[in-house]
Amino acid sequence: MSAHSLPAHLRLACPTCDSAYDEWRWRCACGAPLDFATAPSPNAATPDDADLDYRNGLWAFDEFLPTDPRATLGEGMTPLVDAPEWNASFKLEYVFPTGSFKDRGATTMLSLAAELGIDRVVEDSSGNAGAAVATYAARAGIEAEIYVPASVKPSKLKAIERAGAKPVRVEGTRQDVTDACVEAVETGDAWYASHAWNPAFFAGTATVAYEIAAQRDWNVPDAIVTPLGHGTLFLGAYRGFRALRDAGWIDRVPRLYGAQAAGYAPIADARHHTPDETNDVADGIQIENPVRVTEIHEALDETGGDAVALSADAVEDELDRLHRHGFYTEPTCAVAPAALRELRTMGEIDAEDDVVVPLTGSGLKS
């Protein structure tokens, strides 16, 4: 894209070194991820359900969003249902156009790309984010190139290809995929539509918090347990609940818990002894270097939450249990309810705690 000044509401700032930018860039000169310098917030001091048009899905919360719906498929307002076998509520995040919560970030990020006049984007992904970006790019008429591991699940690859995006398969680890994509960004002219780096993606994933609060008549749960790789949903929840609290719409932020896969658990490893194995069942969160690691630890510390690492056996058992109770999800998704079980055993979550667990991805793609 040609460099031109961003409108005031889209200017970028670095929380690490305080640099400010009035032209788009994918990361700060210091190497840290960027955020919008100002976050939109509502005028009203209390939520008014009459003003929130839930027929617009997650765009009902446009007062909190940095852009307008230019790439939308009616996504959001996913069901929140009782899960008595888990003594929790499940938010069915696999009920999205591409079968995962990644559509939350894809709709806002590609809407922003359209607003900025971007004509080509690149992204790296283990599958779900790639399918979401490819699909919303197609909706916006934007070209997309998606870097994926050579071992990507065929069904996820197909979702990318059928949307007209170009997959680039990279041999090696998940980090090798990111490195190849970043090199393409640095040496080419495509816009980095990254679910780990792009602040518009996190503005979108924050809508999970707005929906949970609205669906519970603005009473927040005690705890939320999400899968934790780069933390796109985890940090979205953190940012969203904080935005609601700052707006005066809720009185507190729930405790946030992150569920990682053993062997790919840098956050849990920093806080606990974790299982000495490599869990390759949860293929969607094999992230060894989360981009926003500082903010993840801050979210755990500020909310009184924690992160745990799950073994492959624990995830497979939980996946079977989910399927047997009618939740047709993918393996990565099962780390969160498996973590809830573990956190109850550890005494971190009590039987009386009111808990919401997002189920993040559909079994139809796995």
Of 189-228, binders to Zn ion (CB under 5 A) are: none
16 binds Zn ion (CB under 5 A): yes
Beta strands 306-310; 80-83: pairing state: unpaired
CB of 34 to Zn ion, least distance (A): 8
Told to check if 14 binds Zn ion by CB under 5 A, we report yes
Q: Which stretch binds Zn ion (CB under 5 A): 14-22, 150-158, 270-278, 353-361?
A: 14-22
From the CB of 17, what's the least distance to Zn ion, in Å?
3
Considering only CA atoms, which of 131, 88, 127 is closest in space to residue 318?
88
Residue 20 is a binding residue for Zn ion (CB under 5 A): no
∠ CA 330-331-333 to the nearest 5 degrees?
75
Residue that has been written with the tokens 């039987």 in this structure: 351
Candidates 29-37, 200-208, 292-300, 301-309: pick the segment binding Zn ion (CB under 5 A). Answer: 29-37
Reference 282, options 259, 261, 268; nearest CA is 261
Contact in structure between 68 and 62 (CB atoms under 8 Å) = yes
- Tokens read off for 124: 């790296």
Please report whether residue 41 would count as binding Zn ion according to CB under 5 A: no
Which position among 6, 32, 39, 95 is part of the footprint of Zn ion (CB under 5 A)? 32
Q: Is 294 in the site for Zn ion (CB under 5 A)?
A: no
Our finding on whether 17 is near Zn ion (CB under 5 A) is: yes
- Looking at 8-16, 93-101, 135-143, 210-218, which segment touches Zn ion (CB under 5 A)? 8-16
Stretch that binds Zn ion, among 20-28, 65-73, 259-267, 324-332 (CB under 5 A): 20-28
* Sole window of 5-13, 31-39, 112-120, 151-159 interacting with Zn ion (rule: CB under 5 A): 31-39
Report, in Å, the least distance between residue 347 CB and Zn ion.
39
How near is the Cβ of 293 to Zn ion at its closest, in Å? Answer: 15
- At its nearest, how many Å lie between Zn ion and the CB of residue 32? 4
Binder of Zn ion out of 19, 41, 87, 215 (CB under 5 A): 19
- Nearer Cβ to Zn ion, position 72 or 198? 198
User: For residues 33 and 47, which CB has a smaller minimum distance to Zn ion in the complex?
Assistant: 33
Cβ 197 to Zn ion shortest distance, Å = 13
Residues near Zn ion, by CB under 5 A: 14, 16-17, 19, 28, 30, 32
